[in-house]
Structure 1
Amino acid sequence: MLSIGEFSKICEVSTKTLRYYDEIGLITPDEINPENGYRFYSIRQLKKMLFINRLKSYHFSLEEIKAILNAEEDQSEERLGIALIRKRMEIQRRADELQYTLKRMYEDIVTLESGLPVMSYYNRIDVQLVETKKVAIVSKRQVLSRDDYAAGYGAYFSRLYETIASEALTLLGTPMTIYHSTEYNPAGNDIEFAIPVREAVDGTRELPGGLCAKAVWKGAYSELTSVYAKLREWTEQEGYILAGLPYEVYVTDPGQAAAFGDIVTEVYVPVRKK
């Protein structure tokens, strides 16, 4: 048996953390002295603690680790494999985001060295006034947080494509999202995932056409706030007011883009003259 101090030293986990892991049922001492409360761990628990440390190094939360440890024995390897694949995809996405951030920082440094302000990119966002046509859409409306939206983007559109296939509908364009919330809420926003189709049938609805301020953005979705700011500035300067729900059309499938900088998104804001 190993004292909590010895176990802590070998696994490089503080005794305070070990006590917390005991409280949440992640790993509990094999033996506790009833007289003095001293905690002891068995040699076999070393491997379990090392496994927990390994999963933590992969950025699994304690809740996720606990679920993996508590899986039925005949399902444990399968669940671990699925969890590792998902976590790897999540970390790869973060790594891509960091790489894109580094690229932007480099561009800002070059911009400053050229004697231009960092925000000069904002003035290069081109706004056009366009007339859009009404179109039928297959859609699903959901209240989602930013993280939920990012994680579920593919899943929601996949379900819509399944509906289109089962109903034998004809695609008319690429996926889009329509934003129903009047303000930003970190806890969740009212978002409608939609795909335009030719047929107006039960289960579809009409997206009205009309006058729109439109801008095209090539880059990460996280930077679309600059596009919306520019569109709002343009409408104010040109004497227009908002006349409907803003929406985004995803010209490029993010899964097919080689990098964040290759993603192309069209942003539309319905407007009318004051």
Structure 2
Amino acid sequence: MLSIGEFSKICEVSTKTLRYYEEIGLIHPDEINPDNGYRYYSIKQLEKMLFINRLKSYYFSLEEIKVILELEKDQSEEKLHTALNRKRREINEKLNAFECTLKQMSTDILNLEKGIPIMSYLNRIDVQLVETKPMNILFMRQMMSSDDYASGYGTYFSRLYEKIASEKLTLLGTPMTIYHSPEYNPVGNDTEFAIPIEETIKGTRALSEGFCARSVVEGSYSELTSVFVKLREWVEKEGYEMVNSPYEIYITNPNQANMDTDMITEVYFPVKKKI
């Protein structure tokens, strides 16, 4: 048997952390002295602690690790394989995001060295006033957290395309996302996924015509926030006001684009002239 101190030293986990793991049911001492409360761990628990540390190094949360540890032996390998694949995808997504951040940072550093203001790129965003035609859209509306967007977009658009194919509906345009929440909430935002079609059936609605401030993004979706800012500034400067929820139309399919620079997205702010 190993004292909590010995176990802590071998596994490089503090005794405070071990006590917390015991508290949340992650790993319990094999024996607790009833007289003095001293905790002892068995040799076989060293491997379990190494396994916990390995999963932590893969950025699994303690809650996720606990679920994995509680799996029955006959299904643990399969479930672990699935969990590792999912976590690998998550890490790859974060790596890609870091790569984009580093690329943007390098550009900003280079511009500053040339005496170019860091926010000057906003001046290159073009805004136009356009008049849109009415559209009949097949839609799904969901509350989406900030973590849901990347995977959620593909899921809901796929369901809409499946309905279009199964019911032999007539496609009239590319996918679009309409943002209905009055403010941003990382826990959940009212988001509508839609595709224009010809037929009026259950699950469709009319998107009214009108004037919109429009801008086109050629490149990564990370630029969309800047475009939203520029559009909102334009609306105020030109004496307009928002009348409906803003929306995006995806001219190119991101899954078919060879790289971010190939993606084209139109952003619309429905407006009317202030009285």
| TM-score class normalised by the smaller sequence | over 0.9
CA distance in 1, matches of 2:253, 2:84: 25
Equivalence for 1:123: 123
Equivalence for 1:175: 175
Cα displacement (A) at 1:78:
1.3
Cα displacement (A) at 1:262:
4.1
Equivalence for 2:164: 164
Cα displacement (A) at 1:57:
0.5
Q: Mean Cα displacement is larger for which, 105-114 or 145-154? A: 145-154
Q: Which amino acid aligns with 2:120?
A: S
| Counterpart check, 1:6 vs 2:3 | no
Please tell me whether the aligned partners of residues 142 and 191 of structure 1 are also in contact (alpha carbons under 8 angstroms). yes
Q: Mean Cα displacement is larger for which, 167-176 or 72-81? A: 167-176
Equivalence for 2:52: 52
CA distance in 1, matches of 2:70, 2:258: 38
Q: Mean Cα displacement is larger for which, 13-22 or 35-44? A: 35-44
Q: Which amino acid aligns with 1:139?
A: F
Equivalence for 1:225: 225
Identify if the C-alpha distance between structure 1 residues 255 and 6 changes in structure 2 by more than 3 Å, giving closer, same or farther.
farther
Equivalence for 1:138: 138
Q: How does 1:232-247 map to 2 (within 5 A)?
A: 232-247=232-247
Cα displacement (A) at 1:6:
1.4
Equivalence for 2:61: 61
Please tell me whether the aligned partners of residues 174 and 196 of structure 1 are also in contact (alpha carbons under 8 angstroms). yes
Q: Mean Cα displacement is larger for which, 183-192 or 250-259? A: 250-259
> 1:148-207: CA deviations, max 9, x gaps?
233422222222222222222122222211111122223322111111222222221111
> 1:93-129: CA deviations, max 9, x gaps?
1100100000001111111122210111000001122
SS at match of 2:129: strand
Identify if the C-alpha distance between structure 1 residues 252 and 56 changes in structure 2 by more than 3 Å, giving closer, same or farther.
farther
| Counterpart check, 1:112 vs 2:115 | no
- Give the TM-score, by structure 1 length: 0.94
Equivalence for 2:205: 205
CA distance in 2, matches of 1:24, 1:14: 16
- Give the TM-score, by structure 2 length: 0.93
CA RMSD of aligned residues (A): 1.7
Q: How does 1:7-46 map to 2 (within 5 A)?
A: 7-46=7-46
SS at match of 2:147: helix
| Counterpart check, 1:77 vs 2:77 | yes
CA distance in 1, matches of 2:77, 2:171: 41
Equivalence for 2:96: 96
CA distance in 1, matches of 2:68, 2:88: 16
Gaps of 5+ in 1: none
Q: Which amino acid aligns with 2:268?
A: Y
SS at match of 2:269: strand
Identify if the C-alpha distance between structure 1 residues 190 and 122 changes in structure 2 by more than 3 Å, giving closer, same or farther.
same
Gaps of 5+ in 2: none
Cα displacement (A) at 1:9:
1.3
Cα displacement (A) at 1:237:
2.5
CA distance in 2, matches of 1:174, 1:119: 31
Q: Which amino acid aligns with 2:164?
A: I
Cα displacement (A) at 1:243:
2.4
> 1:186-229: CA deviations, max 9, x gaps?
33221111112222222211112222111011343343221111
CA distance in 2, matches of 1:103, 1:215: 23
SS at match of 2:119: helix
Cα displacement (A) at 1:252:
3.1
Identify if the C-alpha distance between structure 1 residues 8 and 255 changes in structure 2 by more than 3 Å, giving closer, same or farther.
farther
Please tell me whether the aligned partners of residues 126 and 215 of structure 1 are also in contact (alpha carbons under 8 angstroms). yes
Cα displacement (A) at 1:83:
0.9
CA distance in 2, matches of 1:90, 1:258: 21
Please tell me whether the aligned partners of residues 164 and 170 of structure 1 are also in contact (alpha carbons under 8 angstroms). yes
Identify if the C-alpha distance between structure 1 residues 5 and 253 changes in structure 2 by more than 3 Å, giving closer, same or farther.
farther
